[in-house]
Amino acid sequence: MTLTVRPGDEGSDDLLSLVEQALVPSRVTPALVSRALNRARRLGLYWKILAPLERALLWAAARARVSEYRSPRVRELLAKLIARIEAQTPRGLALAAGLAYALSRRLLPQLPSPARVLGVLREKLQYILYLGKNALITRNYFSPLISGG
């Protein structure tokens, strides 16, 4: 599977969807939803990326008095919303940068199925985060030298 990683291409949407799929939590609790809601508000994502119905769902789910959500549909919706919020945080951006770097340098094996790429991404999550953090730091550190400034 080959992903283009330049911003503005349709491949960047594929990259973002892979990052969101990798960040989907396995267990959804009101505490996790509450943390995601607070993070979204703190980073300004509450108004930028969430629709009014999604905001209402997160707000209601954070205040529910249950230990864990058991409905598969509710759990799936909340997990996708949490993953969308998490993909816009610094950790999600570092994961996207690391995945883009790893795919462009062929550090991950070229795999034919998207499901296998997601499996490799989950297996090597720490390595890809490491690559992304270093790519973001290095790019910012060397950008004045590259631009001639």
Q: For 6, which DSSP code? A: S
Helix axes 11-22, 90-104, angle to 10 degrees: 120
Alpha helix segments (H runs only) across 26-124: 30-43, 45-48, 52-62, 72-87, 90-104, 114-123
| Predicted local distance difference test score (pLDDT) of residue 111 | 59
Global pTM value: 0.78
The verdict on residue 127 lying in a domain is yes
Work out how many domains the chain is built from and give that number. Answer: 1
pLDDT at res. 117: 73
Is residue 30 one of the residues assigned to a domain? Answer: yes
- The answer to whether residue 54 sits within a structural domain is yes
* pLDDT tens digit at each of 149 positions of the chain: 333 344 444 456 778 888 888 899 989 999 999 999 999 999 999 999 999 999 999 999 999 888 888 899 999 999 999 999 999 999 999 999 888 888 888 777 665 566 677 777 888 889 999 999 998 888 666 665 555 44
Does a structural domain hold residue 4? no
Instruction: Please indicate, yes or no, if residue 5 is contained in any of the structural domains.
Output: no
| Residue 40 pLDDT | 95
Residue 140 is assigned to a structural domain of this protein: yes
Q: 6 in a domain, yes or no?
A: no
Note whether residue 95 is domain-resident. Answer: yes
State the residue range of the domain holding 28.
Answer: 11-147
Q: Tokens 């080959």 appear where?
A: 2
